[in-house]
Structures are given as structure tokens and as C-alpha cells.
Amino acid sequence: MRRLTRNKAEDRKKKPLFVLSVVLLLSPACAENETHFPEQACSDFQKASFLQVTKLKVQFLLFTSSNSSCGQLISVGDDLKNSNFNTSLDTKIIIHGFRALGTKPSWISKLTSAFLQAAKVNVIAVDWVYGARGDYTGAVENVTKLSIMISELISKLLARGVSEKSIHLIGVSLGAHIAGLVGYLYGGRLGRITGLDPAGPKYTRASLEERLDPGDAVFVEAIHTDTDNFGIRIPVGHIDYFINGGKDQPGCLRFISLGYNLVICDHVRAIYLYISALENSCPLIAFPCSSHEKFLAGHCLDCMDPFLLSCPRIGLLERGGVSMETLPKEVKVYLMTGSSAPYCMYHSLVEFHLQQERSVITRLEITFRSSNSTASVKITIPKQQLLGRGVLAHQAPLCQVEVVMLKYLPKKHLWKTDEALIAGKFCTTAMPVSQREKMFCLSEYLFLMKDRPLELDLEVACAK
């Protein structure tokens, strides 16, 4: 890995020494917005042999609404006038990561199609399977050269009249740091970078000039799904989504011996979450919190701090749907998801208020049941306290939950037996929780006995 400069913040004011002036900062020229539809053969990703020596060989494949499933090969040396590129549209540039076997990413077509269905855009897929295969360290050594090549392409787009803010880089794993370096070469003026589980190996302790960081674009976001293996565990954007805490995704088995696809299941989940967010209206909303544990315990219920009640959302909304004029940097946000597409879940705060304090820890399990789904969470009420709370993620909106089941979980001690009966009140409300909203509480005290779950109808009114 190459260290670009000693002070990234200072060097953004200057042109990097190793970048030729012809590559960057070209003045946009006036260009026609006509879209051309030349007839040519479809181009696809290269196939690189695992046994060949690592060598960088890059292709840029253009996809538009006119050729959504047929890649159009474009070259930095061309003026792009004979392509389907439309200068009046935003441009999405997809950068894959390390490809151990030198194969085409299986998700690339799905992500390309999702972008084209979600918006009128140009999509450019960067094929660098040559140079991304075999040895991971060798792939990392190609990062700087590849970043310059992508920057040359962007300079060509700018010369045709494309604005810097219309450029959106989507980097997967190692590709996220490549996107960061490209953004750095443009002084952080490109519109947006989305890092899909940015790579951790060789980057967790890297300096800002070597990895993705909030200064690399006007808006930088990252989706973390494998922080304990292949993904980076530190925040790298303005907003960092830690899905299910950032590791151990539901639906991904933990048995490494079962195959390579299961080993990388957590890592690639970020890609499929993002595709799902583009394809479905069900929102993937997250909540700022200092830790995943505090989020699960119900301590982070709204987005007031720091987003002034505008909760960030995965997808194409401008700046993630956050309405603040100036975004803070490296804000960790959390959400829970399902085990399969569309992945989105509704989050509710659940509370149980004991009638009287107890000298031991009180544990309960709370279950929501709707017509086609069931979801549960366990909450704890500390000693000498009355309130226990937690966050319950469920597939149906709270107003469609039909039944709530409460189960008292007494603990057996060596020297005594826990009480067989407790009394208290149950309350819940949908998240985010604003100060204007009131908790829905069952009107009477509930008496819970061990080994006897209590089921009750839950009739929460739908929001108007």
C-alpha cells in the first residue's frame, strides 16, 4: 500500500505530486446532451486465471436505460460521444473489490439493474479482475494505479460538461478505499461515495490518506456487515450504518467448513442490502447511538442528536435523507434487519414497568405476533429498579401486530428460588420516538407467572 502524503487535510489544497496535470481538474467544456445509440457487440467482464501473474488490466463498462443488460465498452482515450452516456444524468461508478479467483462479481448485474430501475442514471462498472485476483496484498498494491485510471475517466466526463457533484462512487470492500482515493484526488468535491462493507485487512490502522474517510466526497456513507472478519470496524464516513451491530448477519450460517459463499456471507450482505434498498419501498432506517448494546437496550430512540429528528436511510435519498445543512462526521447508526430480502424491519420500543422494586434481576421475553410473522426480544430490569426496556424488530408495522406475548423468566439461584409471580404494566411505541408521541400501554397491571406466558391482543392505532 502506498502512503500518498503525510497530511491529507493540508494536501487537499494542492495537487498530488504523482498525478499528471492532464488527469485532474480539467475545465468542463460545453457538450451536447444528445444520447447516441450505436450498434455494437455487448461487452462483459474479463476472466482472469488464478494462476497468472497479477497484472492490472482495466475495462469500463457503461450501462444505461438504452442498454441496461448490455455492457458498452468505453475508453479513457475516447471522447465518449459515440457512446450512450448522457451528460444530463447523474453517474454511478461501481468498483468491485478483491476477487480471489479472478471471476466476475455475481452481484454486478443485479446492482446495475437496481440503479437503472431506481433512477435515470448512467452506470459505469469498473472491471479490474485482472489485478484484483490471487494474492490480496498484490491487489492492494494496485489500488493507487487503479484510482488514477478511474480519475482519468472522471476527468473525461467533466470535460464533457458533467458536474463533480453528479458523480457517485460505489465501492465494495477494497473498492471502497479505491473510491476514497479517487475522491481524494478531486479534493473531496465529488458528490457521493458509498462504501459497501469497506475492507478491513491492511486498512483498519491505515492513515486517512490511505483509506476511505469523510473528506473524500461531499457525502460519504458506509454500510458495515462484517466488522469481525473482512470488513473494517471503524467508522469511515459521515454516516456509518452498522447492520445488526456490524457482524453476524441473520441468515448467514457460522460454519466455515460449509463453503466459500458462507465464509463471505456477512461481507457481501452489505451489497444485497443496498440492492434491496434500491428495489423496495420498505425503508431501511437507522438510529444514531454510541454502541450497539445501548441501541438494543432502548437508549437511542430517535435521531434528534445529531440529526435533528431526520433519521438516515439506506438508499438514494440525498445525504441519506438527513436534512441537516452541515453533516457531522463519523456518526455510527444502527438498525436490525431480516434474514432475507427485502431485509427491512420495523423497530419498536418495548417496556415493562414493575409494580414494585425487586432485590434480584428480573428477566422477561416479549413477543409480537402478526398474521405472517413472529418476533421476540428479551429485556432485563436491574435490581432495585422498576423499568426494563429494549428494542424489538419486527416485519409488520406496529399497528398490524395482533398479539403480544409476555413471558416471565425467573432465574434459579443455588440458595433460593425466584418469585413465582410478578406484576407490572406493558408499554410500547414505534421508533423513532418523538416527544410528541405517547406510549401505548395496556390499561391494567399484568400478573406474570413462571412457565405461563400471557397472550394479549395488541391494538395500536395506525399513524394518520
Query: Given a cut of 50, is residue 251 above it in pLDDT?
Result: yes
pLDDT of residue 274: 98
Dist. CA 199–CA 176, nearest whole Å: 7
Query: Given a cut of 60, is residue 328 above it in pLDDT?
Result: yes
Answer yes or no: 226 catalytic: no
Amino acid at 181: L
Domain definitions of the chain by residue range: 8-335, 346-457
Q: Under 8 Å CB-to-CB from 177, ≥6 apart: which residues?
A: 143, 171, 198, 199, 203, 210, 211, 212
Catalytic residue among 90, 127, 197, 240: 197
Q: Express each pLDDT in 187-230 by its tens digit.
A: 999 999 999 999 999 999 999 999 999 999 999 999 999 999 99
pLDDT of residue 51: 62
Query: Given a cut of 70, is residue 16 above it in pLDDT?
Result: no
Catalytic residue among 96, 177, 238, 267: 267
State the average pLDDT for the chain: 88
Containing 454, the helix (H) or strand (E) segment is strand 454-457
pLDDT of residue 39: 59
- Tell me what the mean pLDDT of segment 411-434 comes to: 84
Confidence of residue 78 (pLDDT cuts 50, 70, 90): confident
Instruction: Give the CA diameter of the chain.
Output: 84
Give the 3-state secondary structure of residue 399. helix
Beta strands in 285-373 (DSSP E): 287-288, 331-335, 346-354, 362-369
Percent of the chain with pLDDT over 70: 87
- Tell me what the mean pLDDT of segment 324-342 comes to: 95
- Tell me what the mean pLDDT of segment 369-393 comes to: 96
Query: Given a cut of 70, is residue 137 above it in pLDDT?
Result: yes
- Tell me what the mean pLDDT of segment 254-262 comes to: 56
Answer yes or no: 75 catalytic: no
**Residues 336/345, Cβ–Cβ less than 8 Å:** yes
Dist. CA 97–CA 224, nearest whole Å: 15
Report residue 424 as a C-alpha cell. 407490572
Answer yes or no: 163 catalytic: no
Q: Which residues of 320-358 are buried (b: 16+ CB within 10 A; e: fewer)?
A: bbbeeeebeeebbbbbbbbeeebbbbbbbbbbbbbeeeb
pLDDT of residue 42: 93
At the fourth CATH level, the homologous superfamily of domain 346-457 is PLAT/LH2 domain (2.60.60.20)
Percent of the chain with pLDDT over 90: 76
pLDDT of residue 376: 97
Dist. CA 200–CA 443, nearest whole Å: 50
Per CATH, the number for 8-335 is: 3.40.50.1820
Picking from 50-59, 110-119, 125-134, which range would have the lowest pLDDT averaged per residue? 50-59
Burial class (CB in 10 A: 0-12, 13-18, 19+), 110: middle
pLDDT of residue 13: 40
Catalytic residue among 155, 173, 276, 348: 173
- Tell me what the mean pLDDT of segment 410-430 comes to: 84
Dist. CA 262–CA 389, nearest whole Å: 34
